[in-house]
Structure 1
Amino acid sequence: MFSEEQVSKYQVTKRNGLAVPYDGQKVIGAVKKAVIAVKGSHAQGSQHLQHLAQSIVEQIESKVQRTMPDGGIIHIEDIQDNVELYLMRAGEQQVARAYVIYREEHSKNRQDLNIKIEDTLQEFTVVHRDNSETWVESDIYSLVSSACEMYREVSSERLWKLIKPSLYDGIKFNELWLLLIMNARSLIAEEPNYSKVAAHFLLNKLKQEVLTTFPTITQDDNLYRKAFRISIDFGIEKGILDNQLSKFDLEQLAEAILPERDRQFDYLGLQTLYDRYFLRSDETPFELPQVMFMRIAMGLAVNESQQNRRAIEFYRLLSSFDFMCSTPTLFNSGTVRPQLSSCYLTHIGDSLSEIYQGLSDNAMLSKWAGGLGNDWTPVRALGSFINGTRGTSQGIIPFLKVANDTAVAVNQGGKRKGAVCAYLETWHLDIEDFLELRKNTGDERRRTHDMNTANWIPDLFMKRVFLDQDWTLFSPSEVSDLHQLYGREFELRYEYYEELAQAGRLKQYKSIRAKELWQKMLSMLFETGHPWITFKDPCNVRSPQQHRGVVHSSNLCTEITLNTNDDEIAVCNLGSVNLNNHWTIEGIDKEHLKNTIRTAIRMLDNVIDLNFYPVKKAKVSNLKHRPIGLGMMGYQDVLYRAKISFDSIEAVELSDRISEAFSFYAIEASANLAVERGCYDSFNGSLWQQGIFPLDSLRQLEKSRGSDYCTFNYQSELDWSFLKEQVKKTGIRNSNIIAIAPTATIANIVGVCQSIEPTYQNLFVKSNLSGEFLVINKYLVSELKDAGLWDASMIDDIQYYQGDVGRIDRIPNKLKALFKTAFSIDPRWLVEAASRRQKWIDQAQSLNLYMQEPSGMKLDNLYKTAWSRGLKTTYYLRSLAATEVYTHSSDRVDVEAEQTLCRLDDLECEVCQ
């Protein structure tokens, strides 16, 4: 079929005169319908059908290319005439006849509808902000028809019947577009492509708003190119955009914009950008989608020697949806305050001045859209002696309350609430109070309902849980060096302090059964969703930067594992590759993946030098170590297309193969960038410099922990030897490279399943600023159509069972297995797949675990398995009780149950992505 470049050269003229981009998939769909109409549903999915449809499209495209090599306009009737001709030549006379009948019926329907409209040419006034104009019904129908003809399986007649009764004289212009959007949205549950139609209407509404801001522009074929140049100048004039953008060749960049890529958006993705991402002036957006992507690309290319070439390269990557930058980068790239980084990890000292300096840093970082991970372990425990006042400490809990309230107070300029996670090591004497911070009962002065919490667990504690031994709690004021140790050194020092305690040489300590504390951790995790379970030793033993300090915590979403100390705040810059765009019928397109990753790594590395740093310690750290976090999304989409169930060994193996290739290309890209730009300052002494890559560090973890506690997989397919030698010789650009973040919002933008997550529900209600609407799994709908099972009754059944296809008898078992949702999958499969990814990742992954009917035994087994498989961190435990209410929101996603409340908060996740 035509390449993307070839497709862009041809337009198709519809019967209403509208010209739309050529789409070979529409021809394939029409041929398949005709074959099925003649041969029945058993023909669906057959190789003959696929080959026939593909062959006809290739013949049509070959003819078009011969007759119009430089591009041009094709009439829809000519395409359909050729479909008939090639069906006949293929010996499919009956199918050709069915296709002719199909054309005649649709022609008659259009004529009937046009007659009805012409008979009732009702006029009504459409009111604009400053004037009004007269419209007739046929004007509106033309809008509906032109939108629907661009997409398969949608009916302009069906949509028009919903819209027409709501039209009235004096309707406001914005209300008219909202009417079109909302009625298209209402049909998404029965046909996912109505989401594209709704997005088309929303895009037109946005264009009208931009035209209102820039009245000198007219809506014609050059709208985008004109709007781009004017919006850049406008943003600079308003003090929103950096003046450096004016140094680009705006004419060249305007010509590089691809307006047809707007068709990739579904409604949810475009509405997300509209609500919160497009730059605005006086509450009105002045960016179109492709303008936004080019503005972001320009912002990331400002320091490049070939600015224009790199900006176009970055734009093409972003606008293709192959890769997407994280939310702070989308918000701020190219602006006068380019805070582009996603995560900040801070170290809180033990003195009062250090504690409040840490809280001040939290506020400044949060103000500019950074997600925070705070290491609170150094702060002395309740009852500890204070030299200055000769009194005793109140411990960490009162200060955590202040940190919680600071996050609430500093709401990132009104765009979203501040978000922070506090980490505490398991030997801290305040750990039991820390576990209860999110409880809904008890003293409210000792509760932090808006802040996340996480346990930072050493391997020694887990060993004692397995052996049912005692565990000793200390105040860091007496054992401060424990915080700086891990592995065997930690174990020896910890045992030494236990001996001191037993000898009466320490003032503060408490002995408790390790199992008892572990059970309390799991109980609080089940009851409140916190603290999360994260593991100190894997994060440190496998850290490439262990020669430069200790990883004291992770970040807000548990995927970042960077060193922190009194002088450095760790920073990470995130973006994610869309795996779905790199999947073909043969598997992952490795050359495509390699090219995507190469450009993405360059973009993320540029963020480090361009970033606006709210605090100096963050800048010092980021420029010295240059860490980035390249992640992935759309893993579940790939499984759907490969027809592999999430809970299968095939899925685990696929996760392994994809992650190895992903890791190889990411490390190779950073190494090649080091050849061009130089390696990072603290490279000497790192694991990279020693030729110890992520898989090698897994062996080091087994050696440190002991093989009795390890169930690791060392399977590998690629030859890494050459790459290791290259890194030893010429270095690597970034101290840390891979981290898999949640991608809650950017996955919505590009229209794929988030991160490495299984589908949460096949059907759910999505809420945004424009209201609520049903969203249905488009892959499920496609499979049910191919099986001849998609009808009104099936839609009702799916809604009745809240998307749980396992309870619908007439759905085949293979589809029930393929479309299991998160709570229907044994969470151990998520751990298995994550363990295969983790061996290739130098940082960590944001791993949610789902359990429909939690029990103490199940939780105990699950988290012990996660530890023994070598995971560095876990994220939320999602659990449901007997009664659930599902409400997905761009602002918040809640799952409410009678006994359990687990919050799925998009806003917390999207601080990272």
Structure 2
Amino acid sequence: MSSAVTAPSPSAGTTAPVEDLQVIKRDGTLVGFDPSKISVAITKAYLAVEGEDAAGSAHIHDSVQRVSGQVVRALSRRLHAGGTVHIEDIQDQVELALMRGEEQRVARAYVLYREAHAAERARLAPVEEHPSLTVTQSNGEKRPLDVGLMKHQVREASQGLDSVDPDAIVDDAVRNLYDGIAETEVLNALIMTARGRIEQEPDYSAVTARLLLEQLRLEVGQTLELPLDLPLAEVYPKALSQLIETGIEHELLHPAMARFDLRELGGALKPERDLQFGFLGLQTLYDRYFIHHRERRIELPQVFFMRVSMGLALQEDNPTARAIEFYDLLSSFDYMASTPTLFNSGTLHSQLSSCYLTTVDDDLEGIYGAIRDNAMLSKWAGGLGNDWTPVRALGAHIKGTNGKSQGIVPFLKVVNDTAVAVNQGGKRKGAVCAYLETWHLDIDEFLELRKNTGDERRRTHDMNSANWVPDLLIERMRADANWTLFSPSDVPDLHDLYGNDFRKRYEEYEAMAERGDITLYKTVSAKQLWRKMLTVLFETGHPWITFKDPCNLRSPQQHTGVVHSSNLCTEITLNTSQDEIAVCNLGSINLAAHIVDGELDRERLERTVNRAVRMLDNVIDINYYAVPQARNSNVRHRPVGLGLMGFQDALYRQGYAYASPEAVAFADESMELISYYAIRASAELARDRGAYESYEGSLWSQGVLPIDSLDRVRDSRRKGDFEVNTEARLDWDAVRALIRQYGMRNSNVMAIAPTATISNIVGVSQSIEPAYQNLFVKSNLSGEFTVINPSLVNELKSEGLWDNVMVNDLKYYDGSVQQLDRVPDHIKARYATAFEIDPRWLVEAAARRQKWLDQAQSLNLYMAEPSGRKLDDLYQLAWERGLKTTYYLRSLGATGAEKTTPVAAPQPQVCSIDEPDCEACQ
């Protein structure tokens, strides 16, 4: 209707260009002056008098142009040098212009239109002026604090949440306000007040999120000039089209994003899904994910998910339909893409991949080339894993200069400082992990990189490290035999050998050393080396323990190369070489969302996996590659890593304790289903899109699936060194037949990442982790957040046990219910926290998952009171159960405050285990 009316232009006699004017909205925010909105309002008034059939008539068009021009000229004359004008003043000028033009009937219709809108605003938020407090508007003027608006905002945010007290939030917030406070800070005061109540009632997290959403809407609405007085269902489509237009104009989004049917996409948005957010999730998106222009956000949550989906659908045959399909998956929280994908999808630099693995060559060009690659990859939000095993050891001969090598440590210092300097595009800390095989002669210094004592020039406090352990070391350790350390310059092929081939060649090199054919070596006790590895792991948290042989023996791609390391978070096991930097593209299923009425919804899980695999495969072709070796590898092999999160929440919803046979069985069952659907989905993609380039010769092409590859590890080990459950429930022959017919689209399909950040967004437990505590303060780059276990609260409520005393007890006992006599034993068992669970349960559950995975999993191990014996038993168990990798060893301090008497209002314990690098992949 209004599109037929063009905005009037002021006459040459006006003194202030209309583009210099700003309008003060009723909420005090400023927006640019838009004459077309005046035309729209006047047109509606004319049509109210003359009927909708008159739309587009020349008479109405001319009349609207005439009246609008009068209003614009009047405003321009009043504001000689530009400035601000209140929206009510503009509407007064419209009424005056209509009356002067003797359009009494139209003027009356316009007055009625204003009154109807004012009445609706009054109904929703009746004005209730505070008797003494005032607020300062953006133009500097003061007006009374509108308590009625505050009540309206909180009551809107509290809808459907019976456990919250909206009036108490308003009362507490008002008590903390001061006279003359900036009007924009009033809503923030409500947010902070609601936030402070989360520890008493988890529903306050939703209230806080909804108030933050209102703040976000105001910010985005002002930036994009959106009509926020409309229902969200009408605002969202406009917000999407405005984002795309503004993003392309300011080179924040790729021009191809304009090729979608934005009207259809806008109609597919589901504003009600904003209500799924908790405070931590929405605040994380606000701080670090939403696109912003000039420090102001220009994305609303559902627009954000649609933007990501559009970026992933750019090369689909029907991109609009696929974008809607992908949006529905992301916005439902059934699945979440990894952080780089959420950051960069649809942008000019769509670096969507999560992890990069490199091998460092043994010369200066290779070493500094690898450091440069680290910087370029880290810039665009990639987590890094570097294989340093080929670089010669300290004291090795340098043929070119006839000198001796300084070993790997001085170069690792440069790697450490590069990770600090190139902080992932200013969005989060850069993160890298260096891997070294345990036969390398520099292993002693490598183990001490994170120590707080010694020569600081040989310490790397900001990077991670991991041992790449061959099975032979474990065998020698168990036999209390010796172990020989070499420089790779003397034993270059050991780097590429594994299993029985490694064992044979290693023993040949030992014989050469005994004969004097190799002079640079060192013989140590395998048991003493193993003990030192565990000791420094406990003391410094590094190097992590990862296992070379199962990573290679079970790799589908062993025909094209060797897995020389894992990645930053130890879940990726891909080949690397001088010509190929391995790349993995990650995303995670929200397992908890697929538990319906206490059971795993297989149909929903199948649908999620099918869509997720397609989205991940699309990343490979859309991705921005900062270095050519990454493109070479990714395009040739097309690996993806579908993982999961919310495992602990899924157990809660089924009534299982983490430390139980039921949890281990569920880990097995759920991972088999995901594996089955994911492998089948990749084969079906191969049917439609073709198999990946290096498919022929892979284990897939030989009919060997992940569950079948267990035999290869068993055959390479001594009897009793490999004890793994091999039970299967599904018809895997059908999947084998599909692969024989079509091949696989992806060389690798699954990997379980830490999900440190995306699990916060979705509001579920991290990855496969047990609950850290039931009440604690989580600290990350977005600040500190009170986290309380809603499942526990609901159970305690059902038992009539949730009250302020219980809150204080949880604070006092650091989120534990084990020492609370009034809590029933069955609740204590289900809500045992990470350090209250025997870590062997974590290993047993991980082993059941590992048998179905073609890559690995980020497995943190928790031990409240570590000892040498306990650590030895735990890591040997991990090896026996066929795990490919382990991640952090988490332990509690040796001492703590003795708690024998009550304390007044203690604060929840702050979580310090969420290492910044955990977020680099997800």
TM-score, normalised relative to structure 2:
0.84
- 8 A Cα contact 2:340 2:382, kept in partner: yes
Structure 1 residues 721-736: aligned runs within 5 Å = 721-736=733-748
- Match of 2:309, as an amino acid? A
Assess, with a 3 A threshold, how the Cα gap between structure 1 residues 903 and 403 changes in structure 2: closer, same or farther. Answer: farther
Give the equivalent residue in structure 2 for 1:83: none
- 8 A Cα contact 2:133 2:178, kept in partner: no
- 8 A Cα contact 1:744 1:906, kept in partner: no
1:624 and 2:636 aligned: yes
Give the equivalent residue in structure 2 for 1:839: 851
Residues 170-190 of structure 1: per-residue CA shift (max 9 Å, x gap):
222331121011100111111
- Match of 2:613, as an amino acid? I
Assess, with a 3 A threshold, how the Cα gap between structure 1 residues 669 and 133 changes in structure 2: closer, same or farther. Answer: farther
- 8 A Cα contact 2:435 2:565, kept in partner: yes
Give the equivalent residue in structure 2 for 1:547: 559
Assess, with a 3 A threshold, how the Cα gap between structure 1 residues 431 and 317 changes in structure 2: closer, same or farther. Answer: same
Give the equivalent residue in structure 1 for 2:813: 801
Assess, with a 3 A threshold, how the Cα gap between structure 1 residues 763 and 713 changes in structure 2: closer, same or farther. Answer: same
1:207 and 2:214 aligned: no
1:519 and 2:519 aligned: no
Give the equivalent residue in structure 2 for 1:409: 421
**Which one of 293, 303, 312 corresponds to residue 305 of structure 2?**
293
State the alpha-carbon separation in 2 of the partners of residues 401 and 458 from structure 1.
Answer: 26
**Which one of 205, 220, 223 corresponds to residue 195 of structure 1?**
205
**Which one of 705, 709, 714 corresponds to residue 693 of structure 1?**
705
Give the equivalent residue in structure 2 for 1:504: 516
- Match of 1:686, as an amino acid? S
- 8 A Cα contact 1:456 1:533, kept in partner: yes
Assess, with a 3 A threshold, how the Cα gap between structure 1 residues 573 and 238 changes in structure 2: closer, same or farther. Answer: same
- 8 A Cα contact 2:131 2:144, kept in partner: no
- 8 A Cα contact 1:121 1:138, kept in partner: no
Structure 1 residues 122-137: aligned runs within 5 Å = 124-128=134-138, 134-137=144-147
- Match of 2:332, as an amino acid? S
Choose 514-523 or 125-134, whichever is displaced more: 125-134
Give the equivalent residue in structure 2 for 1:313: 325
**Which one of 840, 853, 873 corresponds to residue 865 of structure 2?**
853
Give the equivalent residue in structure 1 for 2:838: 826
1:763 and 2:772 aligned: no
- 8 A Cα contact 2:128 2:149, kept in partner: no
Give the equivalent residue in structure 2 for 1:448: 460
Assess, with a 3 A threshold, how the Cα gap between structure 1 residues 118 and 271 changes in structure 2: closer, same or farther. Answer: closer
State the alpha-carbon separation in 1 of the partners of residues 600 and 811 from structure 2.
Answer: 34
Q: CA deviation at 1:136?
A: 2.4
Residues 26-50 of structure 1: per-residue CA shift (max 9 Å, x gap):
xxxxxxxxxxxxxxxxxxxxxxxxx
Q: Percent identity, please.
A: 59
Assess, with a 3 A threshold, how the Cα gap between structure 1 residues 903 and 501 changes in structure 2: closer, same or farther. Answer: farther
Give the equivalent residue in structure 2 for 1:94: none
Residues 724-783 of structure 1: per-residue CA shift (max 9 Å, x gap):
011022101000000000000000000000000000011111346776443211111000
State the alpha-carbon separation in 2 of the partners of residues 616 and 453 from structure 1.
Answer: 26
Assess, with a 3 A threshold, how the Cα gap between structure 1 residues 324 and 132 changes in structure 2: closer, same or farther. Answer: farther
Give the equivalent residue in structure 1 for 2:804: 792
Partner SS state of residue 805, structure 1: coil
Q: CA deviation at 1:881?
A: 1.9
Q: CA deviation at 1:417?
A: 1.3
Q: CA deviation at 1:348?
A: 0.1
Choose 218-227 or 550-559, whichever is displaced more: 218-227
Residues 638-666 of structure 1: per-residue CA shift (max 9 Å, x gap):
11111111001111011100110110000
- Match of 2:197, as an amino acid? L
State the alpha-carbon separation in 2 of the partners of residues 630 and 477 from structure 1.
Answer: 38
Partner SS state of residue 694, structure 1: coil
State the alpha-carbon separation in 1 of the partners of residues 871 and 663 from structure 2.
Answer: 23
**Which one of 359, 364, 373 corresponds to residue 347 of structure 1?**
359
Give the equivalent residue in structure 1 for 2:171: 161
Assess, with a 3 A threshold, how the Cα gap between structure 1 residues 375 and 771 changes in structure 2: closer, same or farther. Answer: closer
Partner SS state of residue 809, structure 1: coil
- 8 A Cα contact 1:295 1:333, kept in partner: yes
Q: CA deviation at 1:124?
A: 2.8
Partner SS state of residue 298, structure 1: helix
Q: CA deviation at 1:791?
A: 1.1
Q: CA deviation at 1:165?
A: 1.1
Give the equivalent residue in structure 1 for 2:84: none
- 8 A Cα contact 1:121 1:137, kept in partner: no
Give the equivalent residue in structure 1 for 2:153: 143
State the alpha-carbon separation in 2 of the partners of residues 586 and 160 from structure 1.
Answer: 38
Give the equivalent residue in structure 1 for 2:181: 171
- 8 A Cα contact 1:375 1:552, kept in partner: yes
Structure 1 residues 701-712: aligned runs within 5 Å = 701-712=713-724
- 8 A Cα contact 1:217 1:227, kept in partner: no
- 8 A Cα contact 1:159 1:183, kept in partner: yes
Choose 148-157 or 166-175, whichever is displaced more: 166-175
Give the equivalent residue in structure 2 for 1:909: 918
Assess, with a 3 A threshold, how the Cα gap between structure 1 residues 554 and 132 changes in structure 2: closer, same or farther. Answer: farther
- Match of 1:745, as an amino acid? T
Q: CA deviation at 1:123?
A: 6.3
**Which one of 410, 418, 422 corresponds to residue 434 of structure 2?**
422
- 8 A Cα contact 1:831 1:866, kept in partner: yes
Partner SS state of residue 433, structure 2: strand
1:357 and 2:366 aligned: no
Partner SS state of residue 854, structure 1: coil
Give the equivalent residue in structure 1 for 2:273: 261
- Match of 2:918, as an amino acid? C
State the alpha-carbon separation in 2 of the partners of residues 428 and 884 from structure 1.
Answer: 39
- Match of 2:804, as an amino acid? A
Assess, with a 3 A threshold, how the Cα gap between structure 1 residues 500 and 120 changes in structure 2: closer, same or farther. Answer: closer
- Match of 2:313, as an amino acid? A
State the alpha-carbon separation in 2 of the partners of residues 713 and 837 from structure 1.
Answer: 10
Give the equivalent residue in structure 2 for 1:774: 786
- Match of 1:189, as an amino acid? E
State the alpha-carbon separation in 2 of the partners of residues 882 and 126 from structure 1.
Answer: 53
Assess, with a 3 A threshold, how the Cα gap between structure 1 residues 311 and 147 changes in structure 2: closer, same or farther. Answer: same
**Which one of 296, 303, 309 corresponds to residue 284 of structure 1?**
296
Assess, with a 3 A threshold, how the Cα gap between structure 1 residues 882 and 823 changes in structure 2: closer, same or farther. Answer: same
Q: CA deviation at 1:218?
A: 3.4
Q: Structure 1: 5+ residue runs without aligned partners? A: 1-113, 886-893, 897-901
1:398 and 2:410 aligned: yes
Q: CA deviation at 1:137?
A: 1.6
Q: Structure 2: 5+ residue runs without aligned partners? A: 1-123, 898-907
- 8 A Cα contact 1:122 1:136, kept in partner: no
- Match of 1:301, as an amino acid? A
Measured on the aligned residues, the alpha-carbon RMSD in Å equals 1.9
State the alpha-carbon separation in 1 of the partners of residues 504 and 247 from structure 2.
Answer: 60
Partner SS state of residue 775, structure 1: strand
Give the equivalent residue in structure 1 for 2:491: 479
1:230 and 2:239 aligned: no
State the alpha-carbon separation in 2 of the partners of residues 603 and 119 from structure 1.
Answer: 52
- Match of 1:727, as an amino acid? I
State the alpha-carbon separation in 1 of the partners of residues 297 and 153 from structure 2.
Answer: 22
Q: CA deviation at 1:877?
A: 0.2
State the alpha-carbon separation in 2 of the partners of residues 814 and 439 from structure 1.
Answer: 42
Q: CA deviation at 1:586?
A: 4.7
Assess, with a 3 A threshold, how the Cα gap between structure 1 residues 120 and 360 changes in structure 2: closer, same or farther. Answer: closer
Q: CA deviation at 1:131?
A: 6.5
1:591 and 2:600 aligned: no
Residues 117-138 of structure 1: per-residue CA shift (max 9 Å, x gap):
9796666335236776654222
State the alpha-carbon separation in 1 of the partners of residues 307 and 808 from structure 2.
Answer: 44
Which one has the largest radius of gyration? 2
- Match of 1:815, as an amino acid? I
- 8 A Cα contact 1:895 1:903, kept in partner: no
- Match of 2:776, as an amino acid? F
